[in-house]
Amino acid sequence: MPRAPVYNPTTQGVAPIEARFRAPSGPTGGEMVARALDGVGQALQHHAQVKNALTIEQDKADAGNNAVAFQDAAGQILAKAKASRGVDAGAAYKAAEEQLLSTREQMLGQSRSPRARDLLKMRTDGFLASYRAELAEHEISQTRAAAEESYISQAAKAREEAARQWLSADAVAAQIELGRGAIRDKERLLGRDETSIAQAEQEYESSVHRGIVEERNAQGDIDGALDYGRAHLTRMTLGDKTAVSATLRGAIETRQAAGDAQWAISQGGPVPASTPGAKYSAPVRNGRVTSGFGVDRGKGRSHNGTDFAAPEGSAVTPIASGVVVGVGSDAKSGNYVMIDHGNGLTTSYAHLGGHSVKQGDRVTATTTLGPVGMTGHTTGPHVHVVARQNGKPVDPLQFIGQNAPSAKAAGEWDKRSAYAAIDANADWTFERKQRAKEWVDREFSRKDSIDAREEREADDEAKRVVLGLGDNFRSLDQIPKTVRDRMSIDATASFSDMAKANAAPKPVAANGAEFLRLQRLAIEAPEQFAGLDLTRSASYLTPGELARLDADQAKLQRGGNEVSIRSAIAGHINTFSTPDMHLTGDKNKEDFIETFGLMQASVLQATGGKRMPTDKELEDAFSLATRTVVAKRPGLLWGTNDKSIPAHDLTVSDIPQAILGQIDAALRRNGLAVTDANRIVLYVEGVSGK
């Protein structure tokens, strides 16, 4: 190939062609091609080397990512396997191992190249070895724990059987041997040496004997505890011997204290008049003493009582609670009543205008015995009061204003008498006296609890009798004596007043203040109403009202959501009523109660009594109860007129008979009670087009 001439621009002027064009220096054309081809080869070789290095890194990354994924999956598999307990750990080990291998194979199959697969396999081989060791350790520990638990259960069962068969020495010995065997196997499982195993067996046997002693003592079998403890004391450890000795000593001291207390209680004395209780009161209100106790009557006679003058017809009451032991009349005393107050004190009341009690009645300081009169030998209306302490006349005025003995006070005095009897034993140690006094306290507490329970039960039985008799309840004698003798003083007085009210010509007025008060309380404070003793209000209620309130109270006491429903209805009335509705305040008790009754019936129809009413249901019930309806009312002179009244003022008599029959049939079809409130709710809904 010819060489190309090179132009030389530096040559100026006229010059020969040879001067202006010169031949190029350096390699020839063939050499340059060879050199270029050599460079290309080197570049290709470098590219191959780089590409191979990159492929290796990609394989490493792939193996690393798959190894991390395998570790994550293995963590979940191991966690599940290690959650197994006891003998289940073996099966869990096998299942986990299979899952690990399967997971690894899946990861290996996902490798991007054989080299990446080999790298992943190499990494996971180490993981698998570690995981197998972890699973094996868990299986071993759980198998050992299951075996240990089994041995413990066997020993516990043997202890239980020994306690059950404690009267048979052979049976106890056999159970102890079974238990010792279980303890022996457990200790060997834990790798204990023979000395430790023997000690554990001895401690087990000792604990069985100790447990039997404590069980017998807890069952109140003190003799059994003593006999067994003494027979097996040598088979116990020092610690159990000490504990058993303390138990036996406590059992002996307990039995001794119980005996000492019973003896001391039997030594109790009478209750003194100064024992704190209720106050003695004057026999008449605003009376005045016209002749005192001990006044000389002449001829060696003195006044054996105290005369209290008061207007004729004034109520005469006993100076304290007690039992009527005498009711009669004679020429000197006229009509009289005698009361036994207990503790040797009796009082009598003479010249009464009549008798309001009879023999056997239990009375309180508020019970009327009769009116002030002028029967017998008397110069004016007064009551002649005679007080006798253990049969000897004493001045009644010394009691009035002072503390009267009560049942609780009598109990306290008996307790102090028992304490005094205990303290009088000089040969008893201080500790023995203290234990005896503690037992006395326990006995009196138990007696008080029993007495209170019996009183409550008797009061409830009496209430059922009174409710059953209704208006025919006229005397406490209608309550069985077995019940009457156990009743509380308050219930006795209340039922006595109720019986007198029923027997009186003028009955208790219906819808009186007390009935309205209790109805309002049942609505606005249902929990307080549920805990009331209704017998205290019995004399102010008609039998029907008492029965109605008693049924309402029983409904609240059964629990459920009744209290919450009532509170919701009452709250709605108080929140949304306006002054022109006249539903709030003491002057509107009846309207409030009537509104509540209609709302309660409406809510019950909507909810079935199984849930709380919604705000919409409360709103609808309130709207119904306060809705204006037209009712027939007597005219000014004759006939009837239409009058607009609130729905809560409606009565069943306002509903036409034909419609009333349809309403009753509808209530029965829907399983609702045929009550006045339910009738009025349906009637109002009907006339309102709902």
Going by pLDDT thresholds of 50, 70 and 90, the confidence category of residue 491 is confident
pLDDT of residue 157: 94
pLDDT of residue 583: 76
Query: What average pLDDT does the segment 371-396 reach?
Result: 89
Query: 209 is written with which tokens?
Result: 């004997």
What whole-number percentage of the chain has pLDDT above 90?
A: 18
663: left (phi over 0), alpha (psi -120 to 50) or beta: alpha
Residue 34, H or E segment: helix 29-82
pLDDT tens-digit map of 329-359: 988 889 999 998 887 889 999 999 999 888 8
For the ranges 4-18, 393-407, 450-464, 610-624, the lowest mean pLDDT is seen at 4-18
Given a contact cutoff of 8 angstroms between Cβ atoms, the answer to whether 535 and 490 are in contact is: yes
3-state DSSP percent of the chain in helix, strand and coil, to 5? 60, 10, 25
pLDDT of residue 272: 47
The amino acid at 406: S
- 58: pLDDT strictly greater than 60: yes
pLDDT of residue 1: 46
Average pLDDT, the chain: 82
pLDDT tens-digit map of 211-263: 999 998 888 888 888 889 889 989 999 999 899 888 888 888 888 888 888 88
DSSP 377: S
- What CATH fold (topology level) applies to the domain 288-410? Glucose Permease (Domain IIA) (2.70.70)
Q: 323: which strand partners?
A: 340, 362
pLDDT tens-digit map of 514-529: 888 888 888 888 888 8
What whole-number percentage of the chain has pLDDT above 70?
A: 86
pLDDT of residue 363: 83
> What whole-number distance in Å separates Cα of residue 484 and Cα of residue 458?
7
- 268: pLDDT strictly greater than 90: no
> What whole-number distance in Å separates Cα of residue 569 and Cα of residue 571?
5
For the ranges 40-44, 82-86, 122-126, 145-149, the lowest mean pLDDT is seen at 40-44
> What whole-number distance in Å separates Cα of residue 354 and Cα of residue 370?
5
- 684: pLDDT strictly greater than 50: yes
Q: How many CA atoms lie within 13 A of 294 on its CB side?
A: 6
For the ranges 168-182, 375-389, 627-641, the lowest mean pLDDT is seen at 627-641
Angle, in degrees to the nearest 10, between helices 169-189 and 194-218: 140
Going by pLDDT thresholds of 50, 70 and 90, the confidence category of residue 5 is low
pLDDT of residue 217: 87
Higher pLDDT, 502 or 271: 502
Query: What average pLDDT does the segment 70-98 reach?
Result: 86
For the ranges 45-49, 94-98, 380-384, 545-549, the lowest mean pLDDT is seen at 45-49
Q: Is the dihedral of CA 315, 320, 322, 325 positive or negative?
A: negative
Query: 161 is written with which tokens?
Result: 């059987």
pLDDT of residue 142: 86
pLDDT tens-digit map of 565-577: 888 888 888 888 8
3 state DSSP class of 435: helix
Going by pLDDT thresholds of 50, 70 and 90, the confidence category of residue 29 is low
- 320: pLDDT strictly greater than 50: yes
pLDDT of residue 273: 42
Query: What average pLDDT does the segment 42-64 reach?
Result: 78
Backbone angles phi, psi at 319, to 5 degrees: -75, -15
Query: What average pLDDT does the segment 100-116 reach?
Result: 90
Given a contact cutoff of 8 angstroms between Cβ atoms, the answer to whether 399 and 393 are in contact is: no
Going by pLDDT thresholds of 50, 70 and 90, the confidence category of residue 41 is low
In this prediction the pTM is: 0.37
> What whole-number distance in Å separates Cα of residue 290 and Cα of residue 384?
10
Query: What average pLDDT does the segment 455-483 reach?
Result: 87
> What whole-number distance in Å separates Cα of residue 98 and Cα of residue 104?
10
pLDDT tens-digit map of 575-606: 888 888 877 776 667 888 888 888 988 888 88
pLDDT of residue 383: 93
- 277: pLDDT strictly greater than 80: no
Q: 664: which strand partners?
A: none
pLDDT of residue 341: 84
pLDDT tens-digit map of 168-190: 999 999 999 999 999 999 899 88
Going by pLDDT thresholds of 50, 70 and 90, the confidence category of residue 362 is confident
DSSP calls for 282-306: -SSTT-EEEE-TT-EEETTEE--SE
3 state DSSP class of 403: strand
pLDDT of residue 204: 93
Q: How many CA atoms lie within 13 A of 621 on its CB side?
A: 30
